[in-house]
Structure 1
Amino acid sequence: MRRWSDWRKRGADAIPDLLLLRHAKSDWHADYGRDFDRPLNARGRKAAEAMGKFLAKQPAIDRVLASPARRVAETLDRVGAHCDLPEIEWVESLYGASQGTVVDLARRCLVERLLVAGHNPVTHMVAATLTRPDGSEDWHMLQRKYPTGALVELRFMSWDDIGAGNGELLRFVRPRDL
């Protein structure tokens, strides 16, 4: 018997994957005016590049929605230097977003693989809430902490199916794992 996670379709009826990326480690000591303008530090730049190399070995991402904050933009710039990302859609509401905002944005995307790049605590809250408990080591790590630069990949039956506990956890990758 095939699990629904084994099925892959193309087009509007595709079984979608939602990837949630938290920006890489930022530099709290840099000279910046607003929190929005905080850059990455050296560790964050290295982690973003490692995540880009990891994503280069994964199925292509069809759409990217991202917070326009500098640390997210720098993360995606370094990720994109190592993997093929589509044009990034900068979404103002992802800076300081609620869980509902992230879920509503995802539900409107009729693509096979959507990457949403943003901030904590909302990235962690969305990932932990949407993931169906499976008892795996990745699931337990995800419930405890969502470090900077981390990526979670969830699969749903459809974009309309996005809801608490409906996402199958495909992977939880932290920069230190790479």
Structure 2
Amino acid sequence: MSKSTPVAQTETSAWRNPFGLALVTYYLVMAVVGLLIPDDILRANAWARDFSDFIASIVPQIDRITALNIKPDVNRFYFSVLWAASPLLCAMVVGELISGRKRGYSMWHSTPRTMLSALLAVAFVILWSINLWWVDPSLRLTRTLFAAPLGRSAFGSIAFSHIPVACATAAAVWLLAWCTGYIPRNIRSHRHE
């Protein structure tokens, strides 16, 4: 009688995940866009002004960033581009969460208490970055995030666009999984193991 050996599970590299690579590429492309925007983008191009006004009519954060009066043309256009590309970011985050579920991310197997605290943290991050209640134009941090091209493209984009969009998308997927019963079934099945 031969002894059977368990089938080895192959662990895939994070660099082979297309959604993870797409997220990294998205971030790098948006960072480069932030570095290359000319200072007179809205004065020199009517299409850029119309585009920025349209996106600002949907996302009030853009008008708040413009009102800081720190490179208003560049920041208005850049954050308009970031928010216009946010549906693409949402699709990549959903893809990453779905493929992560197949790889066993703990988000799907958490307890209700940890999920509630995570949801509250997500809500805080979204409110913090969208409302801009803490931003003071006289602070050095604010100038670094909005005046310097590297600060705007590397850190400002994360704090004011990428994080709230990614968090809101992840929260929506989590809420959908909770309301459809997927997460409660996983919780019950793990309790019985």
Q: What TM-score does the superposition give when structure 2 sets the normalisation length?
A: 0.25
Greater percentage in strand:
1
Greater percentage in helix:
2
Asked which structure has the greater RCO (Cα within 8 Å, sep 6+), the reply is 1
Q: What TM-score does the superposition give when structure 1 sets the normalisation length?
A: 0.27
Larger Cα-atom Rg: 2
